[in-house]
């Protein structure tokens, strides 16, 4: 358990500094645990659509980031296969959105993840579901990494 | 027909200058016709994930933009209800991606749109399907706009 | 609360006897509460595909039934807008599958529901997400039905 | 080309007689070509929901059948990974519905298929998209089957 978290921490340490898109959008990883990731993003001016609310693509960028780290958290190379989103309510300019991604199932080479995006008062902005595919190989080599 | 295209052009002229997110991501609207939109985006450095390929959220931002304008093209106020994506192959750094959104059905208050994202040699990067909901009201007032 | 459940019971009593498809497939409603429905179905010989496991359409029929009753449980006329399914593992011949549908969000006229199908030892067979749309009107008239 | 169709015909000849669910629901395969399948189903009394229209699960059963044969048509063992449906209009009692499944992309081990369900006057009843996964191995052994 402790070792698993250690591997997760190393995965984040290896990948996050190279994630230019997350950095450019001010996305912060609050927590990453095996099968879980929580990320935040403030809705900036350059993220607004023509209605003055958060562009759907920006909500998806935040959610996809949380999804990616939750599926990579077990130190297995994975790729996102698909992602679906239900837009529930707009994200407001200046507000900070939170995306929580949680593993629902993991078996064989595919995993299913639920991602919920909420605004700063806890209201649901979007519900997503994503599927990952394990392409083989580990992300980081850790001595502790002896679990399957 | 000509009048419909005229209304579409006015919608784009009204909305695009206010779409800060599209501008910030260098998204260009190549063509917008009633029920159709084509948009391009070059994969910049700040759009890359930790694998050095286009972040899924950026592909979604491009596709969501094409989706939005195709559903707004009929001069009816609509919102995106949901969007699903199948990631087919990575978008490469520096390449220019094209998203084409086409109306599949439009009835009552909902419309279904297929969006295809391809790379610069025409290979499919992602397939998406989105659903819009008409919330009532027109976007621009046009004398010509006498069709339903 | 008690009144809400009373209305839910009346909805089920009104609709279930007319649901010929559910009856023909041996689908039983175990529990229906406001925003929740649980249904079971035994995988019969005539539900098998050419691999000898439960046809995907039959899993969807069970899940769609649970989805329908969970969204109708609040005594509002609704229709299913869309449904997506991730197939996780096969349903086995002779086994009894359980579908649990739970409301995730309900606002304006749309509701989002998660449906989980499990086999008789509790393993996940499929994960679904559905969206309903309220078309207006109540299903049954109840004196108690004074909540919004 | 001719050889591919021959293999497809053999796949259908091998699988269809064992597909008890398709038979029990009166589903007929009209055409199966490599990457394409067309199936029909009459909406019987025992397929109706409590509103007297075709149960969503039955539309899904028809569509899933067309999807399955289109993805198996290339004589590769595949399983359905996921399927999403947009319900557009009801299927009417007594009407014959047609589902056409077409391959959109096929690469590596996954394929994406679009399935359209129409009623007997050609109106769209449902739009679906499904994804298949190739699990390895052929369905039938054919001398002609020398293409990859």
Contacting residues of A for D82, CB less than 8 Å apart:
82, 131
Closest CA to A44 of D4, B23, C21: B23
If you average pLDDT over residues B114-121, what whole number do you get? 98
Position C1 scores a pLDDT of 59
Residue of chain A nearest C125, judged by CA positions: A105
Strands (DSSP E) along chain C, which ranges? 28-33, 36-42, 76-87, 96-107, 110-118, 124-138
Helix (H) or strand (E) holding B6: helix B2-15
If one counts every other C-beta atom within 10 angstroms of the C-beta of residue C121, the result is 6
Position A108 scores a pLDDT of 82
Nearest by CB: D86 against C24, C82, C85: C82
- Whether D145 shows a pLDDT value over 50: the answer reads no
Residue ranges of D 28-87 with Cβ closer than 8 A to chain A? 81-82, 84
Tokens of B121: 């040699």
**Residue A118 to chain B, least CA–CA distance (Å):** 16
Tokens of D56: 């969503």
Question: What order of strands is seen across the sheet that includes strand A124-138?
Answer: A28-33, A36-42, A96-107, A110-118, A124-138, A76-87, B76-87, B124-138, B110-118, B96-107, B36-42, B28-33
Is A61 close to B60, i.e. CB distance below 8 A?
A: yes
Is C86 close to A112, i.e. CB distance below 8 A?
A: yes
Position D143 scores a pLDDT of 59
Is C58 close to D55, i.e. CB distance below 8 A?
A: no
**Residue C143 to chain A, least CA–CA distance (Å):** 32
**pLDDT tens-digit profile of A79-100?**
999 999 999 999 999 999 999 9
**pLDDT tens-digit profile of A99-139?**
999 999 998 899 999 999 999 999 999 999 999 999 999 99
Position D142 scores a pLDDT of 74
- Whether B26 shows a pLDDT value over 50: the answer reads yes
Helix (H) or strand (E) holding B105: strand B96-107
Going along chain C from its start, the domains and CATH numbers come out as 2-138 (3.10.129.10)
Q: Which residues pair with C41 in a beta bridge?
A: C97
What does the buried/exposed string (b/e) look like for C97-109 if buried means 16 or more CB atoms within 10 Å of the residue's CB? Answer: bbbbbbbbbbeee
Position B145 scores a pLDDT of 46
**Residue A90 to chain C, least CA–CA distance (Å):** 13
CB pairs under 8 A between A and B: 126
Q: Mind giving me the DSSP string for C109-144?
A: TEEEEEEEEE-TTS-EEEEEEEEEEEEEEESS--TT
**pLDDT tens-digit profile of C11-58?**
999 999 999 999 999 999 999 999 999 999 999 999 999 999 999 999
> Quick one: CA torsion of B63, B64, B68, B70, rounded to 10 degrees?
20
**pLDDT tens-digit profile of B64-108?**
999 999 999 999 999 999 999 999 999 999 999 999 999 999 988
Contacting residues of D for C15, CB less than 8 Å apart:
50
**Residue C14 to chain A, least CA–CA distance (Å):** 31
Any chain B CB within 8 A of the CB of C108? no
Nearest by CB: C127 against A86, A112, A127: A112
Whole-angstrom CA distances from B23 to A112, B126, D41 are: 33, 22, 49
Contacting residues of B for D83, CB less than 8 Å apart:
none
Closest CA to B28 of B128, B98, B95: B98
Taking the C-alpha atoms of residue B130 and residue A57, their distance in angstroms, rounded to an integer, is: 13
Any chain A CB within 8 A of the CB of B126? no
Mean pLDDT of chain D: 94
Whole-angstrom CA distances from A146 to A3, A6, A15, A64 are: 9, 12, 21, 28
Position B108 scores a pLDDT of 82
Phi, psi values for residue C61, rounded to 5°? -65, -45
Percentage of residues in chain D having pLDDT higher than 90: 91
List of residues 6+ apart from C127 with CB closer than 8 A:
A104, A105, A112, A129, C85, C86, C88, C114, C115, C116, C117
Is A58 close to B21, i.e. CB distance below 8 A?
A: yes
Q: What is the ipTM of this complex?
A: 0.94
Is the whole-model pTM more than 0.90? yes
Position D62 scores a pLDDT of 98
Given a contact cutoff of 8 angstroms between Cβ atoms, the answer to whether C101 and C112 are in contact is: no
* Angle value at C-alpha C30, between C27 and C35, nearest 5 degrees: 105
Q: For an interface test with B, give the residue of C80, C82, C109, C131 to mutate (most B CBs within 10 A).
A: C82
Contacting residues of B for A83, CB less than 8 Å apart:
56, 60, 84-85, 87
Q: What subunits make at least 3 CB pairs under 8 angstroms with C?
A: A, B, D
* Angle value at C-alpha B100, between B96 and B103, nearest 5 degrees: 170
With cut-offs at 50, 70 and 90, classify the pLDDT of residue C134: very high
Question: What order of strands is seen across the sheet that includes strand D28-33?
Answer: C28-33, C36-42, C96-107, C110-118, C124-138, C76-87, D76-87, D124-138, D110-118, D96-107, D36-42, D28-33
Residue of chain B nearest A14, judged by CA positions: B50
If you average pLDDT over residues D37-61, what whole number do you get? 97
If one counts every other C-beta atom within 10 angstroms of the C-beta of residue B5, the result is 14
Taking the C-alpha atoms of residue C73 and residue C52, their distance in angstroms, rounded to an integer, is: 35
């Amino acid at each position: 358990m402790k070792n698993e978290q250690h591997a997760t921490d190393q995965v984040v340490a290896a990948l996050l500094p190279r994630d230019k898109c997350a950095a450019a959008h001010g996305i912060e990883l609050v927590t990453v645990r095996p099968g879980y990731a929580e990320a935040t993003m403030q809705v900036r001016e350059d993220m607004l659509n023509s209605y003055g609310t958060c562009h759907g693509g920006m909500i998806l960028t935040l959610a996809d980031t949380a999804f990616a780290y939750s599926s990579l958290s077990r130190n297995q190379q994975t790729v996102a296969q698909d992602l679906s989103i239900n837009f529930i309510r707009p994200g407001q300019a200046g507000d900070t959105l939170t995306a929580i991604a949680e593993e629902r199932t993991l078996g064989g080479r595919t995993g299913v993840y639920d991602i919920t995006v909420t605004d700063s008062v806890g209201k649901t902005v979007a519900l997503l579901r994503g599927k990952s595919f394990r392409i083989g190989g580990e992300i980081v080599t850790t001595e502790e990494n002896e679990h399957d």
